Amino acid sequence: MSRFRFPEIPGSQITPESVWQSRRQWLRQAGLLAASAGAAALLPARAALASSEWGVRNPAFSVDADLTPEKSVTTYNNFYEFGTGKTDPSTRSGKFRIQPWQVAVEGEVLNPGVFDLDDLKRLAAMEERVYRLRCVEAWSMVIPWNGFPLEALIRKVQPTGNARYVEFVTDVQPDAMPGLATRIIDWPYVEALRLDEAMHPLTLLAFGVYGKALPVANGAPLRLVVPWKYGFKSGKSIVKIRFVEKQPVTSWVKIAPEEYGFYANVNPEVAHPRWSQATERQIGQGVFAPRVPTLMFNGYADQVASLYAGLDLRRNY
């Protein structure tokens, strides 16, 4: 396979200047502008992996809460390709193949191509970030993810001026994914973000969790993590990334648009048709753990609320 060499370009040529300036302002406030610029640069492999294979924890991305037990994170999941039960991904995924693995990047980009995992890991320095995640079933987790901002990949493939959305497609292995037979979803699983959401510094391309390679149940070998949205927006086991002009019809929007909206921002004021989203319980604390109020944008409002200025979040749920 050929390796990719990308020319360096100013970020302002990729996204609208208002989005770029908003990003820089957020990074200044977090004291991370210099660090982020370094993470987004194309680094030699030895520099990208200088500290450890999975990177050291970035203190700027922390949560004032205890980590969810690793066993809970890796054995209580939604990954319907393996079944609808929470333990199905961990107990029914033994035949899933993660080597070799390639990700095709296509659509409205100047540098389309096919990347293997080593290609991707050369794009930026790996780091560990602790994020809150929340599921629409009103449970949450606090998880240390290992990866780097998706922005690093986006900058290298150079979206054209027509690119407005980024679509993510999950792998399909019929002989290894028993849940595919249910036809709950028109496989493969498809999710998408607006380009500015995908470019946000919080949006992570994750290769690991708890300082280890991702288990299949968590989306091995490569997944997305978008911490201010409900978990179904963070596609797992990604094999294709498309840059498109029109808003994609994502999997859950296609089959249940009244329950799962395209934006899927965590919003305690918008109830799911079958349950309230106003409170949540953290996984791993037991069934009698107290429920706590759900935070707007899952606690990341200061960082991401500006992305939705003027947007009716009740209509665009």
Residue 242 burial (CB < 10 Å; 0-12/13-18/19+)?
buried
Banded model confidence at residue 36, pLDDT cuts 50, 70, 90 = very low
- pLDDT reported for residue 127: 97
Percent of the chain at pLDDT above 90?
80
Computed over every residue of the chain, the mean pLDDT equals 87
pLDDT for 90-131, tens place per residue?
Answer: 999 999 999 999 999 999 999 999 999 999 999 999 999 999
Burial letters 261-278, b for 16+ CB under 10 A, else e: bbbbbbbbebeeeeeebe
**Mean predicted confidence (pLDDT) in 138-157:** 97
Q: CA–CA distance from 150 to each of 26, 121, 124, 242, 287 (Å)?
A: 17, 11, 10, 13, 35
Predicted confidence band at 136 (pLDDT cuts at 50, 70, 90)? Answer: very high
Asked whether the beta carbons of 192 and 165 are under 8 A apart, the reply is yes
Between 151 and 3, whose confidence is greater?
151
> Residue 285 — pLDDT band, cuts 50, 70, 90?
confident
Its pTM stands at 0.84
Higher pLDDT, 280 or 29: 280
Q: What is the pLDDT of residue 3?
A: 43
* Structural domain spans, the chain: 11-308
pLDDT number for residue 287: 74
Instruction: Give yes or no for residue 44 having a pLDDT over 50.
Output: no
The predicted structure's pLDDT at residue 165: 98
What letter would DSSP give residue 271? -
| Residue bearing tokens 């070799």 | 100
- pLDDT of res. 67: 96
Which residue did the predictor score with more confidence, 71 or 48? 71
Retrieve residue 76's tokens.
């209580």
Cα–Cα distances in Å, from 145 out to 58, 111, 211, 279?
10, 28, 8, 24
E strand or H helix that includes residue 21: helix 17-30
DSSP element (H, E) containing 170: strand 165-170
Q: What is the pLDDT of residue 249?
A: 97
Provide the 3-class DSSP secondary structure of residue 242: strand
| pLDDT of the residue at 16 | 45
CATH assignment, 11-308: 3.90.420.10
* Residues 107, 182 contacting (CB under 8 angstroms): no
